Structure 1
């Protein structure tokens, strides 16, 4: 093999080495490209460096010795958090000492800030206060989550990496070190988008972390290159232990993050998965909610909804949560998952990457993934009191089953104060898959913590025939609402609604579309805020009555003249479902449900 001692500027091409050795006072400067080393990297003396700049990345092959040396690789990543917001990280480097192989990450050894472009940086200072600066990191907010303590997945399970006051760790990790592959949290500084310089021995080869059964672990991309989420999720080892193939990405609401006080936190988890072919991505955005002092969800209020996205290629430094299934085991990342995939410069989200000449899936102008032929999809937005929105995704493909479809479905993250999900196999999903059939009945479960207005909206409808309705069936009211033509909203009292709502594709009762008996038609004109009753054959009408869904009579019209049309104002009515009952002189009755949604 070739072993090269370097003092190089690599600017315009992709360079490949069998092995790479950087000696005393030498450095390799890589600009806007990939550096590929088939075997191992030895940055020998502590004055030797490899600088990855302007999106450059280091990829490695099948070397078995492990990277070595006392020198450092340097790579930048920019956080989006401010003083009060967490980012989830995973270091691409470890400390630059010890025998060959991956080493532990230590914040006060591996974190630097840039002092003079393009290669000069200084170590961050670490303080015991709450607020970081452009040159100091607050110890207080450095935590990891390994899911090994009891009770599982509790707020108190976070383990401190820093030495600041008030640590919640029940036995913090020794000396603030973290094995490669595990993720950690950190807050930023008042300037917001802080550029961090990770410096140390580059991680390489197979990296393992423990994923406990039915518990979450904070892991991430441990390399100085992007990794392919498809290869990570569908690795044969990982597919046997990751619950539903779901990756969860933390985000906080920047408009509400103005305090370190826990009850003022407004945040949530976005979820992502991808099918084994890499052609179908399923992403559901974070729904923000607030938290109590003990870290539990605040059940008296809510937050807004995220506008960020997650795509296939996971960038350098990105941390995320993974939950073990019922067995758990050893999670792994490997060099085979590594790709040269730069973050697109026009995308602001830390965990959002774009095109760099690789074969990419297609997205529309709203950033929604475009389903390939043979797949269908729709998304359902459920608004709770106009406070926040939970988004659900429904995928369809002929290979999908009524059970779990790994890579097409995602587990719903932490339940909100009021929430909704797809139920399946005693689990709560925010994305699921079926083989499409017009006879399908897809149940929804709603948990409502207090009386409030709930609204159902449909969007991102892909590869459905234009004539195919998508109904929300309100079984208590025997009402079918085609969400392709109108939203449905109603007031719900506190409680669990496990058997009231479902999605169907056929109507088995009187449709919410206009109905006729002998050409007699009843409909609500919401543009005019009027109830219209059409009587083209001029039948004799005895009375027209309007009731709410609780049976309360709101008005009655009698002694009606024979006329082709009757019109009544509904401006005074609250938005909701009502029942119109028409009685004919012949004794025949006609009842019709209408939805009042008065236009402002």
Structure 2
């Protein structure tokens, strides 16, 4: 009701002042600008009248159109404000007109601006009404109030009355008398599309009248660096305009994440409206809790553990400090600026600072990251979340000298990964002393020499200091298919699945390998894998139960701050990190896995005596096939000569995804041993349908033994060497399988090409042999003693043509399948 009455009041006021202005026009002597001599407003030769207008008699009316060739300028010479300003009648600026005023003038009549007025100095004092766009039309009328200039209106400043109008306050002052109004976009209903805009880019707008700022249906007030001052407590009315998006932030203030501040000061009796940040002074936020649309400035002490997590459009620490405690996070859309010096921003272990946009950060921050419990000779694969962190400064007590012998023997324990040889290579001494972490790169660093010897352990408290990494990180010029040591480049965890999604093109890609927690000093005699492995099917870790320090080490789907890892270079030759990978998860300890409902998985452990060797996993899941699936199937990194893996096209995989579960499925396993001995295969854990009691049988084709791994482990003896036909994983006993009479026909056999090689998958049937014929009946390839459900025709040299593939099962059934090479 109040707003309706106010609009009626302003409409009546507008009609009144319109007629007053019209009355003055009828009594005025018209002077029209010609501008043929100069731009001097006071030069009679520039006007159509004979008498010079220098006296500015109140009865005179000045009409300003397009000058030929000069537009008028009212200069400051001769009329200082302190000595009194000249007085004119009505000034009308037509659509083509342009008046610049840098002096002082009192305009007694109503002013109509359909063109452009620029006040860049002095006082342009309208002692009546001022209409910006007062004549019916579609052209845009403009008034600019620049630095040093003041435009004051006694009665009503109407921005857009009958045509579109814009007032730009660019560092000057726009004001009214004590009873004046500023009406923005309050046009009559008969005039359409008359948008009224007040842009406060800098400077100030002063309205001393209660409810003196009225914004109509077609009106908008944009605030960048300036402000509005209103007499009295007008916060309620202004809040209504803010809510309706009639007063809003613009320009650099919008880009900086500022919002409209609407505050009343009882001492000055002023309501101030401005674009501002929210400032933490050590106890409260000045403009409410920040969010993704509001810039946050910290001038006091702020800790997330006490004061809460922060989401902001931009974050600046000017004094005091920001500490992101363990388990906390700060999420910033744009840049992070630390102007508070050392200790201004501290990110504790297991805390996260996430950024959304590719902006440039300023000022050093401290990021802390603790290692797992380790002994003196153990290593961690590190990656820096900040720029220019020196390697030696990060771990100054790690062995870093070289012993000169013949040849040179180094004891420097800072390593990079050589993708060409698949070996870690010590950084040359003394070059490493000046070497900084490269962004997105993994470095293998040994524990300090002061750390306790095994079996004792302790935590290394890593501290990174530098400007926080942010935005895209691309490692280019890499060789597709090679292993490479990379690392999380951000001060927040990243999603392993998201990383795989953007880096999994090409055979073997999409698998992540994480260095184990502790070093195996007996690798030659009791070999164990050095890496835990992760794909989108899930993780495999280091088997638990041995009592050694590295037991139970399993990735959990997030890549921790400071974490390095090995992956395969995709076909693009580029490893990509982006802000889209970042997360606020605080569970990046690689110690457990989350079971997902859409997956049914079984994890198997291989051990030699009491010594854990490796872990493998089979997952039934959406998106998987019986062939290789990038990002799902994880190759064995082959860093130990003893291992249990599954078979895909004759290659070793520690993670294999398979399509929808069937209890008639058969998974062929690969086994190799570096030494003869006694080994055990056991279930580590299961999820999905396997957690509901589905049987899991390990078939030993050598002994004819079938063991239900859901109930017990299987121990066996084996000679040194490779045996890829001994073990199978099934889900029914052989008797049950034979009763079901496994299908063996064209529909149960799939032939597909992978990496240029034809592969055959016979489903649940073991193949005895394979023959390949061309269409003339010529035998082009024969594979004998296949003894597997899958095989790859690696030696097929038949060119691109139609082929007939004859497959014989182990029980001498024969199926012929057509294929295109």
* TM-score bin (small chain): 0.5 to 0.7
Q: TM-score, normalised by structure 1?
A: 0.62
CA distance in 1, matches of 2:726, 2:554: 32
Q: Give the alignment partner of residue 425 of structure 1, picking from 635, 639, 649.
A: 649
Matches within 5 A, 1:187-336: 187-189=446-448, 190=451, 192-210=458-476, 211-235=478-502, 238-240=503-505, 243-253=508-518, 268-274=530-536, 281-285=538-542, 306-325=551-570, 327=571, 329-336=573-580
- The answer (yes or no) to whether the contact 2:665–2:731 under 8 Å persists in 1 is yes
Shift of 1:446: 1.5
Cα distance, 1:226 vs structure 2: 1.4
Please give the secondary structure, in 2, of the residue aligned with 1:316: coil
SS at match of 1:420: strand
1:7 equivalent in structure 2: 299
Give how far 1:90 is off: 0.5
Q: Indicate the SS of the match to 1:145.
A: strand
Q: Residue 444 of structure 2 corresponds to which residue in structure 1?
A: 185
1:389 aligns with 2:655: no
Q: Distance in 1 between matches of 2:411 and 2:344?
A: 27
Q: Distance in 2 between matches of 1:304 and 1:466?
A: 32
In structure 2, how many angstroms separate the alpha carbons of the residues matched to 1:394 and 1:125?
Answer: 42
Say which is worse superposed, 328-337 or 475-484, in terms of deviation: 475-484
* Structure 2 CA distance for aligned equivalents of residues 269 and 393 of structure 1: 14
Distance 1:369 1:30 in 2: 26
Query: TM-score, length-normalised on structure 2?
Result: 0.46
Per the alignment, in what secondary structure is the counterpart of residue 433 of structure 1?
strand
Shift of residue 329 of structure 1? 1.7
Distance (whole Å) between structure 1 residues aligned to residue 690 and residue 722 of structure 2: 31
Equivalence for 1:41: 336
The aligned runs of 1:485-524 (5 Å cut-off) are 485-508=711-734
Please name the residue that 2:581 is paired with: 337
Deviations 1:195-231 (A, max 9, x none): 1221101100011124532221111111111112222
Q: 1:590 corresponds to which residue?
A: none
For residues 354-365 of structure 1, the aligned pairs below 5 Å read none
Q: Does 1:20 align with 2:246?
A: no
CA contact (8 A) 1:382 1:456 kept: yes
CA deviations over 1:444-471 (Å, ceiling 9, x no partner): 1212333222333234243148675432
Partner of 2:625: 401
User: Is this contact kept in 2: 1:284–1:393, CA < 8 A?
Assistant: no
* Shift in Å, 1:50: 1.6
2:698 is the counterpart of 1:481: no
**Cα distance, 1:351–1:393 mapped onto 2, change above 3 Å:** closer
Report the Cα distance in structure 1 between the residues aligned to 2:525 and 2:701, rounded to whole angstroms: 37
Can you list the C-alpha shifts for 1:27-52, whole angstroms capped at 9, x where unaligned? 44444532232222333586573222
In 2 relative to 1, CA 481–197 (structure 1 residues): closer, same or farther, beyond 3 Å? closer
Separation of aligned partners in 2, 1:262 and 1:454: 17
Using the TM superposition, give the Cα deviation of residue 130 of structure 1 relative to its aligned residue in structure 2, in angstroms.
Answer: 8.8
Is the alpha carbon distance of 1:495 and 1:50 closer, same or farther for their aligned partners in structure 2, counting shifts above 3 Å? Answer: closer
Listed as ranges, the gaps of 5+ residues in structure 2 are 1-255, 259-294, 404-409, 453-457, 738-821
- Which secondary structure state, in structure 1, belongs to the residue aligned with residue 606 of structure 2? strand
Classify 1:306/1:379 alpha carbon distance in 2 versus 1 (closer, same or farther; 3 Å).
same
Q: Which moved more, 1:31-40 or 1:218-227?
A: 31-40
1:554-569 pair list within 5 angstroms: none
Contact 1:29 1:50 in 2 (8 A): yes
Q: Structure 1 residues 272 and 492 mapped into 2: Cα distance closer, same or farther (>3 Å)?
A: same
Residue 141 of structure 1 contacts residue 162 of structure 1 at CA under 8 Å; is this kept in 2?
Answer: no
CA distance 1:408–1:284, change in 2 (3 Å):
farther
Aligned to 1:74: 366
Aligned-residue RMSD, C-alpha: 3.8
- On the 8 A contact 1:145/1:184 being kept in 2, the answer is yes
Contact 2:531 2:541 in 1 (8 A): no
Distance change (3 Å), C-alpha of 1:76 and 1:420: same
Aligned to 1:93, the other structure's residue is in SS state coil
Task: Give matches, 1:543-562, under 5 Å.
Answer: none
Task: Sort the Cα spacing of 1:369 and 1:409 in 2 relative to 1 into closer, same or farther, 3 A.
Answer: farther
Partner Cα separation in structure 1 for residue 593 and residue 314 of structure 2: 42
Distance in 2 between residues matched to 1:465 and 1:264, nearest whole Å: 32
Q: Secondary structure at the match of 2:499?
A: helix
Using the alignment, how far apart are the partners of 1:480 and 1:324 within structure 2? 40
Q: Deviations over 1:230-260 (max 9, x none)?
A: 221223xx12258342211111447x669xx
In structure 2, the CA distance between the partners of 1:263 and 1:5, relative to structure 1 (3 Å rule), is farther
Corresponding position of 1:89: 382
**Greater share of helix residues, 1 or 2?**
2
State the shift of 1:7 in Å.
3.0
Aligned mate of 2:416, from 130, 144, 149: 144
Partner Cα separation in structure 2 for residue 82 and residue 454 of structure 1:
28
Cα distance, 1:263 vs structure 2: 9.5
Q: Which has the higher contact order (CA 8 A, sep 6+)?
A: 1
Equivalent position SS for 2:580: helix
Residues 1:125 and 1:405: Cα distance change in structure 2 (over 3 Å)? closer
Judged with a 3 Å threshold, the aligned counterparts in structure 2 of structure 1 residues 139 and 244 are, in CA distance, closer, same or farther, namely same
- 2:676 aligned residue: 451
- SS of residue matched to 1:230: helix
Partner of residue 526, structure 1: none
**2:530, 2:639 within 8 Å by CA — same for their partners in 1?**
no
Query: Is 1:370 the counterpart of 2:614 in the alignment?
Result: no
Aligned partner of residue 586 in structure 2, secondary structure: coil
